[in-house]
Structure 1
Amino acid sequence: MNEITNLSGPIIGHIPFIDIVLYISPFSLALVAVIAAFTAFLALSKPELRSVTRFGEDVVRTTTVERKEARFRRFMTILCGIALTGVVTTGDLFNFALFVSLTGITNMGIFAGVKDAHVLDATFHYGLVLMICSLPLFGGVAMILANTGTLSMGVLANIHTNPILNMSRTLLLIGAIGEGALAPFFATKVEMIRAKGAPYINMMHLSSLMVFTRVIEVLLILG
């Protein structure tokens, strides 16, 4: 627990939710505030319209966003914000892995909301990455549990590291980055910044930043 307070500040309180125990510190509280503000901003924003022009023509075509499509992408954006809140506040490694995995799934949902062939093709490849990276993510968590007998970050902070834990941390890092931090690369690949309904792409960038920040904190807690 000392390592947690050194990194995140004093523990303000605990929020038990079934078997999920969330802890609030000044650092996590700041991250939650950013996530909540960003999620609310995107949920209330309207999708942008895309104008398409062709060389040799004087016609400008504006593509509209279907209400059903915008509603789905907005819903996935809100779910991603909820998952990120769990990522930055949970004190249990297994729940951390679950929330990171949920972040990747909601990012894929934001992808899938765009009804363009090249975007859906990138969604398929991103889904393959998520499935592959789930193995090192949950495998690292399982190895930590087998080696220490606990998944509580408060207890793990006081356990001395060993080669097995170092390998588990490496697997956890690879899995978390693959699950929650690679979405912007696929978004750039298909130029989703220019795609219709573009504002929701910002949630992918936020989730990438938050997951990367949190996984570094978790690795430091594990020693």
Structure 2
Amino acid sequence: MHLHLLQHGPHRGPARIADWLDSMGHSHTIFHLHEGELPPRLADGDALIILDGPEEGRIPANAAWPRRERKLIEQALNGRKPLLGLGHGARRIAEALGAMVSPGTHAESGWHTIDLAPDSPFDLPERFEAFMWHRDIFALPDDALPLGGSEASPMQGFSWDGHRVLGLLCHLEATPASVLDMLDHLPSLGTGPYLQTRQAMLADARRFDRQAPLLDRLLSQWLGSARR
């Protein structure tokens, strides 16, 4: 399969997703929308991934890429190809499905526990730890099923149209290198009870190792929807 990935900044790349696609024999092209690259035609790929990006108040008012991205997401929702959104991408998909996107009560960064929802369709453990980096959240779209939630953010993801469309607030794709890049270059999320220090985020590399198989299972389930 050939996948299109939409990127919105130099420090919010695909991280482990790129490695997984390569290991599974899938090809991919990254479109750097923040650099003025036009998004792809949906027909030219087999699946679409919308990567993380700026928080709601940090998108330049004169940027053309949000409108182009919204149009592509709507085309993907109306089609049959797999669509995955991470962070910003999940918010954009939720918004296109009519769900509310807003600042959360608390920003969330670092490692936090997610409890799987009772009706969750995700092939994930009932409780697992995931990396977070967000201030904004989204509501559950109509006809979608929830992933589950953390203490600070009860809606950490959703599945829509079976497993074909997935949105994730958490960052199962994070690696030590991608987190370092974010810490070194992205604006601080401020202060709060659910924001970890740099030292706490990077103290135990095994956390990334434990998270990696969860992403692998989810991506396999997601792309498997294209074969049904």
The verdict on a shared fold, with TM-score over 0.5 as the criterion, is no
Question: Of the two structures, which has the highest relative contact order with CA contacts closer than 8 Å and spacing of 6 or more?
Answer: 1
Q: Which band: TM-score by shorter chain?
A: under 0.3
Q: What is the TM-score with the length of structure 1 in the denominator?
A: 0.28
Q: Which has the higher helix share?
A: 1
Q: What TM-score do you get using the length of structure 2 for normalisation?
A: 0.27
Q: Which has the higher strand share?
A: 2
